[in-house]
Amino acid sequence: MIGSPDRRNDASDSGKSDGNPTRGLTRAPLVIVPIGLILGLAAVMFGARAAGEGGRPGPELFLFLLFLILGVISIVLAVRLSRPKVRRGYSRRIQSILLPILVLLMFPLASIAIIKANVEPEEQRRPFTPLAVMADSAKRQTVQLTVETQGESRPQTEINLVPQVGGKIVYVSPNFIEGGIFRRGETLIRIDPSDYEVAVVRAQANVAQAEQVLTREVAEGDIARADYEDLGRGEPSPLALRVPQRQQAEASLQAAKADLDNARLQLTRTSVTAPFDGRVRTKSSDIGQFVSPGSTLGRIFSTDIVEVRLPFTDADLAKIDLPIAYVAQNRASAPLVELTAVIGGVEQVWEARIMRTEATFDTQSRALFAIAEVFDPYGTGASQNGVPIAPGLFVNASIDGRVLENAIVIPRDGLRVDDEIYTVNNKGRAEIRTVTVLDASPERAVLSSGVEAGELVVLSPMERSRVSIPLKVLDVNDPSVVLVEPEEPEWMKRQRQREGYKAKPNADADDEDGSTDSDGTSE
């Protein structure tokens, strides 16, 4: 038959095919694919065990089903590739070789990669180290308010030394120098008195001449009266008795005497004397200089009283209850002021009294100035070291004010900008509070509201952003004493729970192997 040769050819081809040495190679996937599937399932089971210890078996179950499906598909493909064909090319042989190798590598590597991708990284937590701060509790105390202010000392009396007469300076006192000390009535400068002495002599001559004229007029009046009495012609007139001429002579005599007194006065004014005990601030003239009346010879000041002009705000006036129009009746009843200044590296202290306040407020600073006086600053009023309070010295003033009972007092370090403080509760949580400050000094702050007695106030320097974190509070008087130990955060508690959960199976295994004593030895 026509088709017989074809069948023979097919049979011969199939026979040849059965004898082909590559026939077994095409059936290799039937054996290798199940091996790859078994390796992949083993990797899945190993990952499932590791994940089971971590408590997450979900992804491994999904991988198990995925590899089961892939294994079935791989077996089907291997069966199809293993069927004999009439034509066998080199590409089909290569596929038959590569497919088992890829299957062997694909299942384990893919399962391991997927398992590692699903494993959570180990959490690394820093140890819980809270910020340690110093703190002290707010207290209720009876305190006396104080007012702190500053001022410049100045002499109560200071004048320009001027002559009343003109002339050439012929004498200058050794004490009339800048910084010189003089006494009241001491001659500081003497002007040439020659011209004034001549004026005195001339005035004395005029007085003598006026006295002679008056004597003559009196005598002539007496002669006229005697003549009228001898003639017996009645009562004479004043003109006949030369009464007007006598009065004129008397007036001339008085004028001459006045000129003499003026000449003597001008002569005494040639000596410029000190009107008080004091010191010389500046000197602007010297011997040999010609001066005119009213010209400045120098500037001097009195050393009996030194004043300090102290500014007070409205809040300061409320602390010391000082009236606006205040004038002390005497020194004993005046408010006491402590003045301090550093001179030569040593703090000097002087005692002063507020004797009065100025009549008006200062228009620039809106403050009322009070005048504090230091009596005898170069003597009994000097400092504890005998240092006088010199004019021009800038001093700090402290005035005792009203007494407050049951006021809240905190250390000054606890008061921050904008009248804020940081308080801490018994759990280490900080809080920012705004307080009302009544008085503040370098040591303490007196508050009226914003904090209660017994609450802890942070004294250590701390940024505002650190208020939100837990704080470890130490006693400022004894830093070894811990006042507040903050609680552990929630994340640390959860971490301890997880660590305890992981350690529990190990503990159960130890119990099965053998019990352990408290000292770590097995029974």
Query: Is pLDDT of 390 > 50?
Result: yes
Closest alpha carbon to 351 in 328, 329, 377? 377
Query: Is pLDDT of 518 > 50?
Result: no
- What is the arithmetic mean of pLDDT over 139-146? 88
Give residue 267's pLDDT. 94
Query: Is pLDDT of 190 > 80?
Result: yes
Cα gap 340→250, rounded to integer Å: 67
Q: Which residue has the tokens 């004129």?
A: 248
- Label residue 511 by pLDDT band (50, 70, 90): very low
Give tens-digit pLDDT for 435-483: 988 888 888 898 988 899 889 999 998 888 888 888 889 998 888 888 8
Give tens-digit pLDDT for 27-83: 555 555 566 666 566 655 655 555 555 444 455 556 555 665 666 566 655 655 555
Which range of 12-26, 65-79, 348-362 scores highest in mean pLDDT? It is: 348-362
The SS3 of residue 232 is coil
- Label residue 519 by pLDDT band (50, 70, 90): very low
Q: Helix 243-268 vs helix 194-231: angle between axes, to the nearest 10 degrees?
A: 160
Query: Is pLDDT of 94 > 50?
Result: yes
- Could you give the percent of the chain with pLDDT greater than 90? 38
**Mean pLDDT of the chain, nearest integer:** 78
Give residue 255's pLDDT. 92
Give residue 324's pLDDT. 85
The SS3 of residue 406 is strand
State how far the alpha carbon of 148 is from the alpha carbons of 119, 353, 395, in Å: 69, 15, 11
The SS3 of residue 438 is strand
pTM of the model: 0.57
Give residue 41's pLDDT. 62
Residue 60 carries which DSSP code?
H
Closest alpha carbon to 421 in 430, 433, 413, 429? 433
Contact yes or no for 151/247 (Cβ under 8 A): no
- List the beta bridge partners of residue 399: 147, 337
Give tens-digit pLDDT for 106-131: 666 666 666 666 656 565 556 667 88
CA dihedral angle for residue 169, residue 174, residue 178, residue 179, rounded to 10 degrees: -150
The SS3 of residue 9 is helix
Contact yes or no for 319/145 (Cβ under 8 A): yes
User: How far out from the chain centre does Cα 409 lie?
Assistant: 19
Give residue 292's pLDDT. 93
Contact yes or no for 304/156 (Cβ under 8 A): yes
Query: Is pLDDT of 358 > 60?
Result: yes
- Label residue 508 by pLDDT band (50, 70, 90): very low
Cα gap 190→176, rounded to integer Å: 12
Give residue 168's pLDDT. 94
Query: Is pLDDT of 346 > 80?
Result: yes
Closest alpha carbon to 469 in 229, 132, 169? 132
Contact yes or no for 467/431 (Cβ under 8 A): yes
The SS3 of residue 469 is coil
φ, ψ at 246 (rounded to 5°): -65, -40
Give tens-digit pLDDT for 270-306: 999 999 999 999 999 999 999 999 999 999 999 999 9
For 201, the token pair is 């002599």
Dihedral sign for Cα 299, 302, 303, 307, please.
negative
Residue 460 identity: S
- Could you give the percent of the chain with pLDDT greater than 70? 68
- Label residue 405 by pLDDT band (50, 70, 90): confident
Convert 275-312 to b/e letters by CB count within 10 Å (16 or more is b).
eeebbbbebebeeeeebeeeeebbebbbbbebbbebbb
Contact yes or no for 34/100 (Cβ under 8 A): no
CA dihedral angle for residue 309, residue 315, residue 317, residue 318, rounded to 10 degrees: -160
Give residue 131's pLDDT. 84
Query: Is pLDDT of 85 > 90?
Result: no
Give tens-digit pLDDT for 227-252: 677 776 667 777 767 778 888 888 88
User: How far out from the chain centre does Cα 284 lie?
Assistant: 46
Which range of 84-93, 112-121, 274-283, 319-328 scores highest in mean pLDDT? It is: 274-283
Residue 509 identity: A
Spatial neighbors of 163 by CB under 8 A, at least 6 apart, are 189, 191, 269, 272, 291, 292, 293, 294, 295, 297
Query: Is pLDDT of 2 > 90?
Result: no
Q: Which residue has the tokens 């006295």?
A: 211
Give residue 318's pLDDT. 83
Give tens-digit pLDDT for 161-173: 999 999 999 999 9
Between residues 30 and 522, the one the model is more confident about: 30
